Amino acid sequence: STPESYKINGVTYKKDEYSNIPQNILDKLDRNLHLLPSHPISILRSIVEEHFKDYKPLIPSSSIVSVKQNFDELGFPPDHPGRSLTDSYYLNKTYMLRTHTSSHEIESYKSNLNKWLLSADVFRRDEIDSSHYPVFHQMEGTHIWENQNLNQLSKLNEELENKLKECNILIEDETKINEKTNPYQPHHIPQHTDEIVRHLKNSLNSLIFRLFGHHAKKGGEPLKVRWIEAYFPFTTPSYEVEVFWQGEWLELLGCGVVMQKTLDLSGVPDKSGWAFGLGLERLSMVLFSIPDIRLFWTEDSRFLNQFKKGEITTFQPYSKYPPCYKDMSFWLPATTSSSSSVKEVEKDHHGASAAGGKLDLGQSSITSINNNTYKAFHENDYCEIVRDVVGDLIESVTLIDEFTHPKTKRKSKCYRLNYRHMDRNLSNEEVNELQDKVQKRVVEEMGIEMR
Neighbours of 67 (CB within 10 A): 20
Smallest distance from the beta carbon of 34 to ligand PHE, in angstroms? 15
Give the residue, chosen from 276, 330, 331, 419, that forms a contact with ligand PHE under the rule CB under 6 A.
Answer: 276
Give first-to-last CA distance, the chain, whole Å: 29
Instruction: Report d(CA 119, CA 117) in Å as an integer.
Output: 7
Task: Mark 212-251 with x for binding to ligand PHE (rule: CB under 6 A) and - for no binding.
Answer: --------------------x--x----------------
Q: 181 vs 314, which CB is nearer to ligand PHE?
A: 181
Q: Identify which range of 150-158, 269-277, 361-369, 426-434 contacts ligand PHE by CB under 6 A.
A: 269-277
Check residue 418 for interaction with ligand PHE (CB under 6 A): no
Check residue 256 for interaction with ligand PHE (CB under 6 A): yes
Q: Name the β-bridge partners of 228.
A: 240
**How many C-alpha atoms does 83 have within 13 Å on its Cβ side?**
25
Check residue 273 for interaction with ligand PHE (CB under 6 A): no
Check residue 139 for interaction with ligand PHE (CB under 6 A): no
Instruction: Report d(CA 8, CA 410) in Å as an integer.
Output: 42
Q: 275 vs 332, which CB is nearer to ligand PHE?
A: 275
Q: 64 vs 118, which CB is nearer to ligand PHE?
A: 118
Check residue 350 for interaction with ligand PHE (CB under 6 A): yes
Residue in 307, 446, 428, 427 with CA at minimum distance from that of residue 375: 446
CA angle 436, 379, 388 (to 5 degrees): 45
Q: 196 vs 275, which CB is nearer to ligand PHE?
A: 275
Give the residue, chosen from 233, 351, 362, 447, that forms a contact with ligand PHE under the rule CB under 6 A.
Answer: 351
Total number of residues that touch ligand PHE (CB under 6 A): 13
Q: 42 vs 235, which CB is nearer to ligand PHE?
A: 235
CA dihedral 187, 189, 194, 199 (to 10 degrees): -80
| DSSP calls for 139-172 | EEEEEEEEGGGGGGHHHHHHHHHHHHHTS-EEEE
Instruction: Report d(CA 270, CA 315) in Å as an integer.
Output: 47
In order of 28, 280, 316, 397, the CA distances from 135 in angstroms are 8, 11, 24, 17
Give the residue, chosen from 64, 118, 225, 275, that forms a contact with ligand PHE under the rule CB under 6 A.
Answer: 275
Please report the beta strands in 53-151, taking only residues with DSSP state E, as ranges in sequence order. 56-58, 64-66, 95-97, 115-123, 135-146
Smallest distance from the beta carbon of 104 to ligand PHE, in angstroms? 10
Smallest distance from the beta carbon of 366 to ligand PHE, in angstroms? 30
Q: 268 vs 434, which CB is nearer to ligand PHE?
A: 268
Smallest distance from the beta carbon of 216 to ligand PHE, in angstroms? 26
Residues 83-112 that bind ligand PHE (CB under 6 A): 100, 102
Q: 40 vs 351, which CB is nearer to ligand PHE?
A: 351
Q: Which residues does 166 contact at the CB level (< 8 Å), separation at least 6?
A: none
CA angle 80, 389, 92 (to 5 degrees): 35
Smallest distance from the beta carbon of 252 to ligand PHE, in angstroms? 11
Smallest distance from the beta carbon of 68 to ligand PHE, in angstroms? 16
Task: List interacting residues with ligand PHE (CB under 6 A).
Answer: 100, 102, 140, 232, 235, 254-256, 275-277, 350-351
